[in-house]
Amino acid sequence: MQHDNDEKLKLTAVLTHRNVLTTICAVTVFLCVAVAAYMYFQQQAVNELLDAVQNGSRKDVDAALVRANRLHVTNRAIPLITEVLKGSKTGSQPQHHTNAKHALSQIGPAAIPSLLDAMTKPSYVHGAVMALTDMREVAVADLRSALASDPQGKIRAAASHALFNMAANDVDIEVAIPTLTEAVRNDVDLGARAYSANALGYVGDSAKSALPALLDALHEEHIQLAAARAIASIAPEHATEAVPAMVALLDDPDPSTRWSVVYAIGEFGPHGELGTDALLNALKDSEFIVRATVVSALGSIKNPPEKIIAALLLEMEHERSVNYRRRIISALGALGPVAKDAIPKLTEALKDDELDLWASDALEQIDPDAYPDQEDEPIEWIDSEDCCL
């Protein structure tokens, strides 16, 4: 009897052991299948995200990002999406470049190291800068760190470029002011220095601590224009130091440099009066874009009004370009009530269909009462029966 019981216990133990092993095997198989399925769906999510970036719309990219986030694979997609930025250039962008920048900016901080690395490669740098710019405040600290300490000049220049873009798009980068100032003063990369100066200019009043560095930079050939524009934005009262340095460049053989100089002087507004005579002389420049920018700059500077008004009226007399004449009219209007001598010429311009809107705005700024009364045209009443025919 005891022997039978022992045999039953042994059999039960064997069966139990066998059931346990079967269960373990089943669970193991299930887990393997589940893991394989999860990995498959993860890879599918990565593929879908990459396909959306390369071939879809922004809406497609956003939907693919949601799926990738749920499966925790956005980080795996970062290098692949960064690769799509290759060949991105200034100007109009193919949809896949735009999508890649959008996707990386949405992924956020996890994408920053890959983008910083991409900035070392010439064919990627523009796209990487734009993607970091789109991250706005999220990327400021990393860009500041890259500008302050990265040994590669390309990365420092690209970082300052991104900070400049952010400042130009009203992103708060004030935390980077000391780093940008140090770059203006000491960075060996000219691109990093120029972009840093431009970024400080867009920060405005809050960057006054950078003025000594910017004033020193006025005497350095490759960054003096950027420095002057920054000074005009931060403290235009320092025009006495900046404008003479700019005037000296108006004889530069490069038209783009002359245009930049004129634009920079105009940015000082009334403080830029020291440059008026030089600008009046620049109305004889051989390049249309330079002359047109001179006109706008004179309207911004305003002083001395007598000289400016006489010169602009003379230009209007001899220049036949509609766009140029419109600029002249707008500049005269910007001078305000002191430009009353221009009223007859502006009144005459009201008769020109291509100038009338600009002339009316200018007259409104100079003397609203000078705008000629328009006689009311008689109203033709339409018989109610006629209107139904």
Tens of pLDDT, residues 168-204: 999 999 999 999 999 999 999 999 999 999 999 999 9
pLDDT of residue 93: 67
Percent helix, strand, coil in the chain, to 5, is 80, 0, 20
Distance CA 209, CA 204 (A): 11
Tokens, residue 329: 């009219």
pLDDT of residue 386: 47
- Look at residue 231 and tell me whether its pLDDT is greater than 90: yes
pLDDT of residue 22: 79
Please tell me the least confidently modeled range out of 25-34, 120-129, 350-359: 25-34
Question: How many C-beta neighbours within 10 Å does residue 157 have?
Answer: 25
Residue 45 C-alpha from the chain's centroid: 32
What's the mean per-residue pLDDT of the chain?
87
pLDDT of residue 388: 41
By the 8 A CB rule, do 365 and 336 touch?
Answer: yes
pLDDT digits (tens, 9 = 90+) for 158-167: 999 999 999 9
* Mean predicted confidence (pLDDT) in 347-352: 92
Closest of 346, 351, 354 to residue 374, by C-alpha: 351
pLDDT above 70 as % of the chain: 89
Tokens 């220095």 — which residue? Answer: 193
- Look at residue 223 and tell me whether its pLDDT is greater than 60: yes
pLDDT digits (tens, 9 = 90+) for 56-75: 898 998 898 888 888 888 88
* Mean predicted confidence (pLDDT) in 84-101: 78
pLDDT of residue 67: 87
pLDDT of residue 88: 72
Distance CA 348, CA 328 (A): 14
Closest of 169, 179, 182 to residue 141, by C-alpha: 179
- Look at residue 374 and tell me whether its pLDDT is greater than 60: no
- Look at residue 310 and tell me whether its pLDDT is greater than 90: yes
More reliable by pLDDT, 296 or 42: 296
Burial class (CB in 10 A: 0-12, 13-18, 19+), 389: exposed
Residues in the chain: 389
- Look at residue 156 and tell me whether its pLDDT is greater than 90: yes
Distances in Å between the Cα of 56 and the Cα atoms of 44, 65, 99 are 16, 12, 8
Report residue 379's pLDDT band, with 50, 70 and 90 as the boundaries: very low
- Look at residue 211 and tell me whether its pLDDT is greater than 70: yes
Please tell me the least confidently modeled range out of 139-143, 174-178, 380-384: 380-384
More reliable by pLDDT, 234 or 7: 234
H/E stretch holding 207 reads: none
- Look at residue 6 and tell me whether its pLDDT is greater than 70: no
pTM of the model: 0.77
* Amino acid at the residue 59: K
* Mean predicted confidence (pLDDT) in 343-357: 93
